[in-house]
Amino acid sequence: MSREIIEAVRTIEREKGIEGDTLINALEDALLAAYKKTPGASRHASVELDPELGDFRVFSIDLPPDIEERLLEEARERTLTELERLEAENGERSHTLIIDDDLIIDWSDVPEEQVKRADVTPDDFGRIAAQTAKQVILQRIREAEREMMYEEYVDRVSEVVTGIVQQAGDRNNVLVDLGKVEALLPRSEQVDGERYEQGSRIKAVITEVRSGTKGPQVILSRRDPELIRTLFELEVPEIADGLVEIRAVAREPGYRSKIAVESHAGGVDPVGACVGPRGSRVRMVVSELRGEKIDIIPWNTEPARFVAKALSPARVREVFVDDETKEATVVVPDDQLALAIGKEGLNARLAARLTGWRVDIQSDTEFAQAEADAAYGGGEDDEEFSTRCGAVLSNGKRCPNTALPASRYCGVPAHQELATREPDPAVEAPVTAETPIEAEGDSLDASPSIEEPGSSAPITGNAAEKESADGRIASGTVTIGAPEALAAEPAPPEEVQDAGN
């Protein structure tokens, strides 16, 4: 039997990849368990196996009473702790009776001179030992394989793996065969609208690895943003080589994703590298994600430009940023407002996640109205402001004259003429504003706006907001009252002084 044991250990070590010491320890435990079942066995014993010769001997262990009691107490505590752990894992209370004769005490720290050893190997121990050893060794082999599998996959968390769908389990969970282990794709980690047919091949991210009695339980996800990053690494050689880096990912699984990319090599276009020739690379990623739309955004260290690009495909007029609060106010043309916000706020939400900024999107009209309200002194609650003439001069400023009694306008004839053009007061028509005039080429797609240090006015790369020789504003002009007020000339200085305000 000696040579057979050694050969079996070496074969298992070679084929299963289990260390020989682990098998030797398992064999010693098996032989000790077999000895415990023989009549007249010593209460405490040890088995020593010579790995070279394959011979084993059983030795009885006698300890001083005080040391024996101390070691038994320690063994009881270890056993109770293990039972409590199992109860917590299983959620059930066990009623296991602890017997001292079944406890395994550890006397390795006891001085050798206090331990009495005697060889008590039975003559017919070989047959019983062989039967018991076979069962225990197989059990230890399974445990060692499970432990090795757990150690292998626990280091692969956040890694994308490819598997074959086995079946849809209870509660719509999907079982995926990864080759060595069967993984679980929970319903909560599946993408809405995706169907997983048995036998189909899918890619997913390992998000968690749990250790269990039946082996490691690998949890997969198809919703994790890391899936997008890894798929691009597989399809784009520039990313795998480090020439292009994915700086940020924002994702609404099944609908749309945005990624920000940056080039670390001169002459390498990060967006073009990810798109590929005729869109071949990004098309492969979209295919794996079952048609999910992907926006590829160039990374920019300037917040205003980055936020503007993140709102793609919408065109952006201006961006005002507050570095302290990390808030960005984005102004877009009126016809781009819905596109910038997206369906149910999807585009704006993804842009905020991608940039890390709080994004407030306003149309030209909304922004111009807010600017005018701020410039005119605070609104209806300000008594002085509410008694002023409601006309706006051609220079964009509100008339400084006081309105006449029972009128919203001053005595200037051109302003009084506005009163005759107003709708019926009973309707309480709101103050109207002329739609801001969009300057040709005024778009942040070509030149984002950035606030100049020390100035609240944005710097744009176009001709927007430039004043002409007569003081008129090229864009963003707001008129309070009827649109015809644009034709009214400013009040002569002497008339303004006569009105008194």
> 6 and 139: one domain?
yes
> 71 and 12: one domain?
yes
Q: Is residue 71 part of a domain?
A: yes
The domain boundary, picked from 187, 221, 255, lies at 221
> 127 and 79: one domain?
yes
Selection from 210, 220, 205, 221 nearest residue 146 by Cα: 210
> 21 and 138: one domain?
yes
CATH number at residue 194: 2.40.50.140
> 147 and 163: one domain?
no
The pLDDT-based confidence of 496 (bands split at 50, 70, 90) is: very low
Residue 499 has pLDDT above 50, yes or no: no
Q: Is residue 293 part of a domain?
A: yes
> 19 and 129: one domain?
yes
> 39 and 141: one domain?
yes
Q: Rounded distance, CA 290 to CA 127, Å?
A: 61
Q: What is the mean pLDDT of the chain?
A: 74
Residue 206: the pLDDT is 92
Q: Is residue 445 part of a domain?
A: no
**By three-state DSSP, how is residue 499 classified?**
helix
Neighbour tally for 264: CB within 10 Å: 12
Q: Is residue 50 part of a domain?
A: yes
Q: Rounded distance, CA 157 to CA 164, Å?
A: 19
Q: Which of 74-83, 330-339, 433-442 has the least mean pLDDT?
A: 433-442
Q: Compute the average pLDDT of residues 96-120.
A: 69
The domain boundary, picked from 258, 284, 299, lies at 299
The pLDDT-based confidence of 366 (bands split at 50, 70, 90) is: confident
Q: Compute the average pLDDT of residues 234-238.
A: 93
Residue 457 has pLDDT above 50, yes or no: no
Q: Compute the average pLDDT of residues 262-269.
A: 91
Tell me which amino acid residue 419 is: A
Q: Is residue 240 part of a domain?
A: yes
Q: Compute the average pLDDT of residues 317-336.
A: 91
Q: Rounded distance, CA 180 to CA 229, Å?
A: 25
Q: Which of 75-84, 120-129, 300-309 has the least mean pLDDT?
A: 120-129
CATH number at residue 77: 3.30.1480.10
Residue 272: the pLDDT is 94
Residue 429 has pLDDT above 80, yes or no: no
Residue 74: the pLDDT is 80
> 243 and 287: one domain?
yes
DSSP string of 111-166? -GGG-EEEE---TTHHHHHHHHHHHHHHHHHHHHHHHHHHHHHHTTTT-EEEEEEE
Residue 195: the pLDDT is 85
Q: Is residue 373 part of a domain?
A: no
CATH number at residue 245: 3.30.300.20
> 43 and 143: one domain?
yes
Residue 500: the pLDDT is 37
Q: Rounded distance, CA 466 to CA 477, Å?
A: 12
Domain that holds residue 243: 230-299
Residue 375 has pLDDT above 60, yes or no: yes
> 86 and 134: one domain?
yes
- Give the Cα-Cα-Cα angle 464, 469, 471 (nearest 5 degrees): 70
Q: Is residue 96 part of a domain?
A: yes
The pLDDT-based confidence of 213 (bands split at 50, 70, 90) is: confident
> 145 and 166: one domain?
no
Q: Rounded distance, CA 312 to CA 295, Å?
A: 8
The domain boundary, picked from 272, 299, 326, lies at 299
What is the Cα gyration radius of the chain?
A: 40
> 45 and 119: one domain?
yes
Residue 50: the pLDDT is 65
Residue 190 has pLDDT above 70, yes or no: yes
The residue to which tokens 């943003």 are assigned: 225
Q: Is residue 26 part of a domain?
A: yes
Which range, 360-374, 448-462, 478-492, has the best average confidence (pLDDT)?
360-374
Structural domain total, the chain: 3
pTM above 0.85? no
